[in-house]
Amino acid sequence: MVEMLQATLEPQKDGSLTRARSILQCTVGSKPPVSICSLSKEFTFTQLDLELEESEQVIFAVKGPQIIHLSGYYVPSQAVSKREASTSTDDLIMYP
């Protein structure tokens, strides 16, 4: 699973921001795109609380003149986490 936490608008090369809006859209699988947020000079970032499963392809797209950066983190699946975190004596090799 991937958790997306924040979207931030990147300033132009001269450091300025345009008044035009840049819209972040997300497409999951074959479903139609969904607008996640709209950023502009007045609203340069927003907090997100998106949980995306790995079972379907997810595509992010920006409609507008500026770049939007996303931040978040990857959460390993429960099966992998439990296997890696296992410390039972059955998993240990003991030498005399």
Contact 66, 12 (CB under 8 A): yes
pLDDT higher than 90, residue 1 = no
Token pair 């991937």 in the structure block, residue: 2
Res 59 pLDDT > 60: yes
Confidence of residue 93 (pLDDT cuts 50, 70, 90): very low
d(C-alpha 79, C-alpha 83), whole Å? 6
Residue 69's pLDDT band, with cuts at 50, 70 and 90, is: very high
Mean of the per-residue pLDDT values of the chain: 82
Q: List, for residues 23-42, the tens digit of each pLDDT value.
A: 999 998 899 999 999 999 99
Q: Are 1 and 52 in contact (CB under 8 A)?
A: yes
